[in-house]
Amino acid sequence: MGKDNFSSDPGANDSDGLYEHYSFNADQGQSPLRVDKFLMSRIEKVTRNKIQQAAKAGSIFVNEQVVKSNYKVKAGDQVKVLFAHPPYDNLLTPEPLDLEIIYEDDILVVLNKPAGLVVHPGHGNYSGTLLNGLLHHFQQLPKNSNNRPGLVHRIDKDTSGLLVVAKTEEAMTHLAKQFFDKTSERKYMALVWGDFEEDQGTVKGAIGRHPKNRLQMTVFEDNSQGKEAITHFKVLERFGYVTLLECQLETGRTHQIRAHMKFKGHTLFNDARYGGDKILKGTSFTKYKQFVENCFSLLPRQALHAKTLGYIHPETQEKMQFDSPMPDDLESALQKWRQYAQHKKLQ
């Protein structure tokens, strides 16, 4: 597959207005497939009706030519679609939201995000996000380079944990530079499938969008695509079929820990997008299968928590470090695995 020009940034500029832009190159193994079905398989949370509306508006292009929804995509085709999108500023509506604030002063705030909460508005999530709640709570926040008020960094919807939010332009610039220079501290708790051979180590490998599954990120060992990504890990507990890790980010790429762990052969527990919602290690016995499914029920999302956050305070130059407790869903699953591992030892 050729270079991907994927973009889904709300508010991306186009000569005729504001749109969501998507662009894909069909790989060489692509068999003929209707363009509407092709797009449905590659764009998260898009509806068939939305694709049909784009087709009627003449907003689906193959090799720079407008096509109808029944066009058959072939190997090597470049497929683009523009979805009409409300201007990003219209999405930035203050909405009441309970925020778990860990620390706050005049220039920044640190909060603990629950799993299931989207950080900022985007495709399929136009309201009810953390950013909508921040705007209600703080009214005025500086905008980052993506026009997102206050946000210095983000974590995935189904990842829980700590975020720092800037309340002034100066704090935004100072904190963003720390993340760029890799001087901030970010540690995550991750429950992964399998038993690590080593007690600690480092995963290096550029991360970019998966050439076939557009909803995943993947590792390019030869650095031919993607961006440099480095994750340091340390084993905290071993449960036989799963392992609890502490992962420290040196870089901050989209899905970095999720992609790096899958690359290592240790997909995050119950990470549906990366295949971790299947039984990847263990036996096929009914009791074990039921046990794992019970764990999935206790923890209905990927087992990842942003536990520790550290940075230099932009104004006082003091080293700040915050730690958040393990959320109840992850702690419950860990307790189940501890009991299971102990029971196996006693057998």
Residues designated catalytic? 156
* Greatest pairwise CA separation for the chain in angstroms: 69
Q: At what angle do helices 286-298 and 328-346 cross, to 10 degrees?
A: 160
Contact assessment for residue 281 and residue 193, using Cβ atoms and an 8 Å cutoff: yes
Encoding tokens for residue 99? 């925020």
Q: Tell how strand 78-84 and strand 65-66 pair up.
A: unpaired
* Short-list 182, 115, 170, 179, CA closest to 152: 179
How many Cβ atoms from other residues are within 10 Å of residue 12's Cβ? 15
Cβ burial 271-302 (10 Å sphere, 16+ → b, else e): bebbebbebbbbeeeeeeeebbeebbebbebb
